[in-house]
Amino acid sequence: MKFLDQAKVYVKAGDGGNGCASFRREKFIEFGGPDGGDGGRGGDVVILCVDGLNTLIDYRYQQHFKAGRGGNGMGKQRHGAGGKDIVLKVPVGTQVFDDDQETLLADFTEVGQRVVLLTGGNGGFGNIRFTTSTNRAPRRSNPGEVGGERWIWLRLKLIADAGLVGLPNAGKSTFLAAVSAARPKIADYPFTTLHPNLGVAHVGEREFVIADIPGLIEGAHEGVGIGDRFLGHIERCRVLLHLVDGTTEHAGKTYKAVRNELALYDGGLADKPEVVALSKADALDPDTLKEQVARLKRAAKRTPLVLSSHSHAGVTEALRALVAVIDSAKEAEAEAEHLAAAEPWHP
């Protein structure tokens, strides 16, 4: 299945049905009076977060969604039927933006969330509604209200506990394949990963979700390479695992290049907790490995982990480091929620 994380769609709520102007006409009833019913209400545009979806591919082949129109009112005080709602199903992590791509309309982070994006138009009044003491036979009725319409953008941001960042061929996909059942494309040329991948990693009795995104290169914020459009998928991660290829010329400069791109991307990624690791350690001789670790330590201002996804050396230590940060973040979030709930309410 093709991965699609962004789609532009047109949505329109249903128009209300027209009111009816009619009069009661029955044998032996001389003054039947008005009996026109109201028009039905138009259907709503609803966005629902559901389980089992991980892409917006459904909106690649259909971009227009219109709710049902309300039925017209009829004689004998019969009201029109309400229009049928249109429901757009989206995966967890979807954000809905206005046509300007900046105004956030809805953010879906849990299965079952439901947002009425556009409300259907009200039905028009029938002539029975206009009966007064001085106007016993009104001949007027209202047309139905027009339903709202707009273009919206759907953007998917994957929900994961940890995110992998690094240059192309830093070993991110190999790491994901080594720690989970995910099978991303792996090859000895750059940009083998063209779309984000998710995997569930296990360490001890714990499990957590890891997101792998296409590699960054210098100038990604300006669109160089694949650019930074996939960085949104790790905005929700609690921790980043920054993999630095040990076979590069200078591990420290490589680290700084990626960190610079994260800082230039406006998403708070540069402030997220980070675990730094030197990858492909099995391809280095002891002297080169020691030199690259020292360079990376100076650049990152911390002692990096050393691992090899191919031989699994150091992989478990990296997973445990990630779990420790994830648990700390969860505890901080729980404490913040507890404090917010304990604050006294002031009307």
Torsional sign, CA 52, 54, 60, 66: positive
184 annotated as ligand-binding: no
Task: Give Cα 21 to chain centroid, integer Å.
Answer: 48
216 annotated as ligand-binding: no
What is the rounded distance in angstroms from the CA atom of residue 149 to the CA atom of residue 120?
10
215 annotated as ligand-binding: yes
251 annotated as ligand-binding: no
Triad 73, 76, 77: Cα angle to 5°: 55
Radius of gyration for the chain, computed over Cα atoms and rounded to the nearest angstrom: 29
297 annotated as ligand-binding: no
279 annotated as ligand-binding: yes
Exposure string over 58-75, b if 16+ CB within 10 A, otherwise e: bbeeeeeebbbbbbbbbb
23 annotated as ligand-binding: no
Q: What is residue 310's three-state secondary structure?
A: coil
Residue 219 near residue 253, CB atoms below 8 Å:
no
71 annotated as ligand-binding: no
228 annotated as ligand-binding: no
What is the rounded distance in angstroms from the CA atom of residue 7 to the CA atom of residue 175?
30
280 annotated as ligand-binding: yes
282 annotated as ligand-binding: yes
253 annotated as ligand-binding: no
122 annotated as ligand-binding: no
What is the rounded distance in angstroms from the CA atom of residue 277 to the CA atom of residue 244?
6
194 annotated as ligand-binding: yes
191 annotated as ligand-binding: yes
8 annotated as ligand-binding: no
213 annotated as ligand-binding: yes
223 annotated as ligand-binding: no
281 annotated as ligand-binding: yes
273 annotated as ligand-binding: no
- Residues annotated within the binding site for GTP are 166-173, 191-195, 212-215, 279-282, 308-310
- Residues annotated within the binding site are 166-173, 191-195, 212-215, 279-282, 308-310
- Residues annotated within the binding site for Mg(2+) are 173, 193
